[in-house]
Amino acid sequence: MWMLGMQFNLDVIWFDENANVVAIEKNVPLCQTTIEVVACRENGVSGDNAKYVLEVTAGFVDKFNITENSKLEIISI
């Protein structure tokens, strides 16, 4: 995954319009070289049915047992 300035791998969670998890990618590696960046931009990612995406530190999905049966609930802002 190419993200300018990112220094660590990510877990990426996609949600539909009802906050249901529709896709998860764990420990997504960063692109470090120019050649990798070009390939990263061309690679598609999951979440075709997603409306929202949450990027978190790698390991978050496993630590909090998030699955495609999970639902996001925002309890305060």
Per-residue pLDDT of 1-18, as tens digits, reads 666 677 889 999 999 999
77's CB contacts (< 8 A; 6+ apart) are none
Q: Is the full-model pTM beyond 0.85?
A: no
Q: pLDDT per residue over 17-53, tens digit each?
A: 999 999 999 998 877 666 666 666 555 556 678 899 9
From the number of C-beta atoms within 10 Å of its C-beta (0-12, 13-18, 19+), residue 12 rates as buried
CA distance 32 to 9: 11
Quick check: 66 and 28 in contact, CB under 8 A?
no
pLDDT at 7: 83
DSSP state of 21: E
d(C-alpha 50, C-alpha 20), whole Å = 9
